[in-house]
Amino acid sequence: MKSNSGALKGRVLIIDEEYNQHLAETRIIKENFPEFEVHELGYSKDKVLEFAENVVGILAQIYFPIDRELLSRLPKLRAISVYGGGFNNVDVQYATQLGIKVSRVPDYSNHEVAEHVIWSILYFAKKPFYLSQRGRQGFWGARAVSDEPIDTWDPERMENLPRRVHGSTLLIIGYGKIGKTIASKANGLGMNVLFYDPYVKEGNAKAVKVELEEGLRKADYVVVSAPLTQTSKNLINYSTLKLMKKTAYLINVGRGGVVNEADLIKALNEKIIRGASLDVFENEPLPQDSPFYTMPNVVVTPHAVYISDKSIKDLKVTAATNLVKLIKGESVPGCVNCQ
């Protein structure tokens, strides 16, 4: 893709403190706009404003707020491209008023997120680290699971008893593209898949639509893959957690605010549910003194399950390509305010 921008001069700002290199993005921008300056900046509005003159494009992480005040001070800005599927960091309404196009990168990590959900299910069901530890202690075979009489083994009572995944029930909260990818992979494990999503009218062969209360009561595993909205905020709280089986697990790969974290901590401490796998949190990074870090029945990952050898390259290339096309006045599939 070569530039047809003529004598257009300008600057592009890459605002990012997560990725330590932007070679692919810079190459794509320079191939299309060789006359452009490209500046790599951290999360500082003051620093951005130092380079404000002639800024026509911004490529930014989802953590950097691009609000009304900042937008009003970038008079030549044409396009904003966000690294990721979310774009809550941008005042899209005001950007639209100013004629600034905003894009995101949907679907680049659907498989990565869905695979993490399946891993979490298998981790909770198969107890690999517990069994590894028992083996190192000299226990073998059935004795590695428990010294209790084998005919009295009870999954309701024995937290470390491995369980069969085939035939168990998964509830997916939020049945968008990631939710559907999770369902497809869970079908491959022979799971019964339910979903709750008020914006999806009916189920299909992969998953059965249910109301939230019904799904929570039936599920052995509950995965949150819903975006954070006014209606989804704190959707999972102490009352809804009490509807779940005591042997059930919660997996959150959606947004932190969908789960009330204080209520989840209380429910875990009271053994209302058996455990949780959490990749997203209301405040990130998760504070080092968070109780989640020390809870043995909780898996904490640092909002990183979208990353793989494939997804991160796709994200960087697509985000930069989106920016180039929007500056040129072209539309892109990820544009959130293109007509």
Rg (Cα) of the chain, in Å, rounded?
23
CA 36 – CA 321 distance, rounded (Å):
15
Average pLDDT over residues 226-254: 97
State the pTM of this model: 0.89
Show the domain range for 40.
Answer: 11-108+310-327
Single out the residue of 215, 262, 218 nearest to residue 237, CA to CA: 262
- Judge whether residue 310 has pLDDT over 80: yes
Q: Are residues 77 and 193 in the same domain?
A: no
- Judge whether residue 2 has pLDDT over 90: no
Distances (CA, A) of 275 to 59, 84, 94, 124, 197: 38, 28, 42, 8, 23
Q: Are residues 183 and 244 in the same domain?
A: yes
Residue listed under structure tokens 């040129």: 328
3-state helix, strand, coil in the chain (%, to 5): 35, 15, 50
- Please say if 69 is a catalytic residue: no
Distances (CA, A) of 303 to 52, 296, 323: 31, 19, 24
CA 186 – CA 167 distance, rounded (Å):
10
Residue 220 included in any domain:
yes
CA 253 – CA 302 distance, rounded (Å):
11
192-239 tens-digit pLDDT: 999 999 999 999 899 999 999 999 999 999 999 999 999 999 999 999
Range list of β-strands (E), the chain: 11-15, 37-41, 55-61, 79-83, 101-103, 169-173, 192-196, 208-209, 221-224, 249-252, 275-278, 298-300
Which pLDDT belongs to residue 59? 98
CA 105 – CA 219 distance, rounded (Å):
31
Which pLDDT belongs to residue 280? 97
Q: Which two tokens stand for residue 319?
A: 């985000």
- Judge whether residue 6 has pLDDT over 60: no
- Judge whether residue 276 has pLDDT over 70: yes
Q: Which two tokens stand for residue 76?
A: 């030549």
Q: Are residues 52 and 115 in the same domain?
A: no
CA 271 to chain CA centroid, Å, is 26
Q: Are residues 26 and 120 in the same domain?
A: no
315-335 tens-digit pLDDT: 999 999 999 999 999 989 999
Q: Are residues 178 and 245 in the same domain?
A: yes
Q: Annotated catalytic residue: which of 50, 211, 270, 284? A: 284
- Please say if 31 is a catalytic residue: no
63-87 tens-digit pLDDT: 899 999 999 999 999 999 999 988 9
14-68 tens-digit pLDDT: 999 999 999 999 999 999 999 999 999 999 999 999 999 999 999 999 989 999 9
Residue 41 included in any domain:
yes
Residue 267 included in any domain:
yes
Residue 225 included in any domain:
yes
Q: Are residues 120 and 75 in the same domain?
A: no
More confident residue, 267 or 227: 267
Helix (H, G, I), strand (E, B) or coil at 92: helix
Residue 332 included in any domain:
no
Residue 96 included in any domain:
yes
Q: Are residues 230 and 121 in the same domain?
A: yes
Average pLDDT over residues 251-255: 97
Residue 338 included in any domain:
no
Q: Which two tokens stand for residue 135?
A: 């083996």
Q: Are residues 62 and 187 in the same domain?
A: no
Q: CATH number for the domain including 288?
A: 3.40.50.720
Confidence band, pLDDT 50/70/90 cuts, at residue 8: low
CA 319 – CA 81 distance, rounded (Å):
6
- Judge whether residue 122 has pLDDT over 60: yes
- Judge whether residue 4 has pLDDT over 80: no
Q: Are residues 242 and 278 in the same domain?
A: yes
Q: Are residues 116 and 240 in the same domain?
A: yes
Which pLDDT belongs to residue 9? 79
For residue 122, which phi and psi values (nearest 5 degrees)?
-65, -35
Q: Are residues 259 and 215 in the same domain?
A: yes
CA 202 – CA 251 distance, rounded (Å):
23
Helix (H, G, I), strand (E, B) or coil at 236: strand
Q: Are residues 272 and 210 in the same domain?
A: yes
- Judge whether residue 146 has pLDDT over 90: yes
Per the CB < 8 A criterion, the answer to whether 95 and 69 are in contact is no
Rounded to the nearest integer, the mean pLDDT of the chain is 95
Q: Annotated catalytic residue: which of 112, 255, 261, 274? A: 255
Which pLDDT belongs to residue 189? 98
Q: Annotated catalytic residue: which of 11, 78, 116, 303? A: 303
- Number of domains forming the structure of the chain: 2
Single out the residue of 252, 306, 299 nearest to residue 275, CA to CA: 299
Residue 153 included in any domain:
no
Single out the residue of 180, 307, 165 nearest to residue 249, CA to CA: 165
